[in-house]
Amino acid sequence: MLVVGLTGGISSGKSTVTQLFLDKGVTVLDADLIVRQMQQPNTVLLKRLADVFGQDIILADGNLDRGGLGRLIFQDKAAKAKLDEIMKPLIREKLVEGIELAKKANESMVVLDMPLLYEFEFESLTDVTIVVYVSQETQIKRLMARDQIEEAYALAKINSQMSLDKKRDLANFVLVNEGKVSELRTQFETLYHQLCCCLKHSHN
């Protein structure tokens, strides 16, 4: 089985590529979704986060105030490091579980969809990695339009992650998403064919 790590930056178009894999019938383990499920109301994890970051991060309805927590860790590197320290082993455990389930089901490929793939050093779980790449200029424009925020805040958000240039250098495959979705889809089809070829070679 081929374990593919898929990553990118904010507003790079990673979710579009995730959908293209899903359309092929490939199992995708979505790290963001895993985190959301673990942070449901009344979970042990949510209680722990409230103990560490303050009860204010829990809304009146019991849900996590993602925006509030986001702003907190965004402005405080020590808080971000603490959150990563709590979340990293839990996410890794769930991803390993998902990979094992896919193996048992005799699936030929599984994709780990993870924004912080390299930051958390989870590429060690994968056979190959893909980065969805855009220039920083494009990233800023798209993020400003998507979140209705000013340029300085968009840039600060982007800079809170490893740069896409660095991720591109680390990746086995790069999908450049500067143009239309149709262009990204064409690149994806070529890449998917290459991945299927990788699979064939690994079985020979």
How far is Cα of residue 168 from the mean position of the Cα atoms in its chain? 15
Q: Which phi and psi angles does 106 have, rounded to 5°?
A: 60, 35
- Residue 9 marked as a ligand binder: no
- Residue 163 marked as a ligand binder: no
Angle between helices 77-104 and 31-38 (to 10 degrees): 110
- Residue 13 marked as a ligand binder: yes
Q: Which whole-number Å values give the CA distances from 20 to 45, 81, 101, 184, in the listed order?
A: 32, 33, 22, 10
Starting at the edge strand found earlier in the chain, the sheet holding 128-133 runs 27-30, 109-113, 2-8, 128-133, 173-176
- Residue 11 marked as a ligand binder: yes
- SS3 for 5? strand
Residue in the block written with tokens 């199992």: 27
- Residue 182 marked as a ligand binder: no
| Alpha-carbon dihedral 182, 175, 100, 64, rounded to 10 degrees | -80
Could you list the residues known to form a binding site for ATP, using ranges. 11-16
Could you list the residues known to form a binding site, using ranges. 11-16
